[in-house]
Amino acid sequence: MDALFDLPEAETPEQAVIAHYRLSDDQYGSPAEREAVYDAERAMTNAVEEAGVGEVNGNEFGGGEAVLYAYGADAEALFKVMEPTLRSLPFRPAHVVLRRESPETESRFEDPLDHRADRTAAFRRHLRCQPS
């Protein structure tokens, strides 16, 4: 609080990493798919907490899709910590949304999570240059 005017301090805008995966059916995916997402979520929670870059804040299943949410001060730093686990999930198509400061400044990338290493550098360049 600002002592002179009793105003709240400005908050640092929260950024987000939101990963979307297509599942094998139009509902909630198979039990094995859900378990793989839960395992990945636990692994990312540990990695993100250990790195001190934010928090993994849950998942949603439905409509044939699994979505994972994470929030922190820097979406790119958060994604860097989460990326190995996100790429390890086998479900495709997949895409990740990096939201910087507000929904109006989010960047969306379709299927950046394939397993071809040669796309990583191009994806990172695209990530810095192409807001949607």
* pTM, entire model: 0.73
DSSP string, 69-120: EEEES-HHHHHHHHHHHHHH---SSEEEEEE-SSGGG-EEEESTT-S-THHH
Instruction: Reply yes or no on whether the pLDDT at 107 is more than 80.
Output: no
Kindly report, residue by residue over 55-82, the tens digit of the pLDDT: 999 999 999 999 999 999 999 999 999 9
